[in-house]
Copies of this chain bind each other. A is one copy, B any other.
Amino acid sequence: MIDERWRRTAEILVNYSTSVRSGERVLIVMVEPETFPLAAAVYEAAIRAGGLPHVQFASAYLERALMRHGTEAQVGWVPEPELNAIHWADVYIGLRGARNPHEFAGVPADVIAAHRRAMGVVSRARTERTRWVLVRVPNEAFAQQAGMALDETMAFFFRAVLRDWAEEARTYERIRERFQRAHTVHITGRGTDLTFSTVGRTYVVGDGRHNMPDGEIYTAPVDDSLEGVVTFEFPGIYAGVRIPDIRLVFERGRVVSAAASANADLLARILDTDAGARRVGEFGVGLNFGIDRFTGDVLFDEKIGGTVHLALGRAYAECGGTNDSAVHWDIVKDLRVEGTISLDGEKVFEDGGYRF
């Protein structure tokens, strides 16, 4: 029996996120066997919408087997059936489960890179040729990382996902327009007084059509405009390692001083990756008030309503940014207890809520 909440999630993915129409081809990618209940619900919703669904399987365990036992040719092979399926599909619904986040441990970096290049061909085809949405499907491994019980985790997930997305999208768009009109952003809070410009840059809205859950607007700040200091309530997580209490000082867009209460050496190494790693490629604003706690999974954390996030490194082209660092590392700041956002001097966020 499929949980009614999976059915409602599936309805959102099929009828809102990707708007499947009669006769359309729907590729459902089931990552790890545990996502089967949602895969079955999405399949049924696609059938009910008149679609022609097909389920494909993927798993980090298979990727590990490929990378550990494959030759260079096998690892570098672009999987034709996956590419063919994307060329066939009008809609792509990716159900991303994860049993263990460390399945690539011990695999040489160049082998991982070769595998990622091959899979990148598939990802690019997906984004270019299909209406796509990706879902991060939680399970015990997610609960373990988040420090929550499993039932609590699932209730948390469904609070984040089972929203009136048409209504959410209207709210996000209103907020996006207000940010888009502004020239400067000023953020205050615990250990924080940071300003930057977004002139000439574009705010993009994440309203559940590509990610689920979703709920953010984001842009690329003008590269050399950041001035001041920011302290992050939530740890930065880099390749699985937590860096708590990060404090960054900016001068003309560059991090000139960085501190953390642990793993400060890793923080320093990240900043030294390349020139772009010391600059901010993304400024994002979390808008999903159904997500109310830190989990350690940035796809959720960056959407917490009442937070902002900065990414060191690479900018998104659609925002008009030019930072092309190898790094893109999101760190989330909580403004709910203490903090304000002002646009061109007008406070738009205060006391945990938006003022317009």
**Residue-wise interface mask of A (66-92) relative to B, using a CB-CB cutoff of 8 A (1 in contact, 0 not):** 100111001001011110110010000
Task: State whether the Cβ of A234 lies closer than 8 Å to any Cβ in chain B.
Answer: no
Contacts of A70 in B (CB 8 A): 47
Q: How far is the CA of A248 from the CA of B122 in the complex (A)?
A: 59
Contacts of A61 in B (CB 8 A): 40
Q: How far is the CA of A39 from the CA of B32 in the complex (A)?
A: 12
Stretch at the interface among A13-21, A50-58, A344-352: A50-58
Contacts of A50 in B (CB 8 A): 71, 74
Q: How far is the CA of A7 from the CA of B81 in the complex (A)?
A: 24
**Residue-wise interface mask of A (22-52) relative to B, using a CB-CB cutoff of 8 A (1 in contact, 0 not):** 0001010010011010011001100110101
Contacts of A56 in B (CB 8 A): 55-57, 81
Known: A66-B47, A84-B81, A84-B84. A52 touches B74 (CB 8 A): yes
Task: State whether the Cβ of A62 lies closer than 8 Å to any Cβ in chain B.
Answer: yes
Contact, CB under 8 Å: B88 / A80: yes
A interface residues with partner B (beta carbon < 8 Å): 25, 27, 30, 33-34, 36, 39-40, 43-44, 47-48, 50, 52, 54-59, 61-62, 65-66, 69-71, 74, 77, 79-82, 84-85, 88
Contacts of A62 in B (CB 8 A): 40, 43, 55
10 tightest Cβ-Cβ pairs between the two chains A and B: A33-B33, A44-B65, A54-B81, A57-B57, A33-B36, A55-B57, A47-B69, A43-B62, A40-B61, A81-B85
Contacts of A27 in B (CB 8 A): 81
Contacts of A59 in B (CB 8 A): 36, 40, 55
Known: A47-B65, A65-B47, A69-B47. A88 touches B77 (CB 8 A): no
Contact, CB under 8 Å: B65 / A43: yes
A262 to chain B, nearest CB (A): 32
Q: Told that A43-B62, A81-B84 touch, could you supply 6 new A-B pairs with CB distance under 8 A? A: A33-B34, A40-B62, A43-B66, A52-B74, A52-B79, A81-B88
Q: How far is the CA of A161 from the CA of B274 in the complex (A)?
A: 55
Q: How far is the CA of A50 from the CA of B72 in the complex (A)?
A: 11
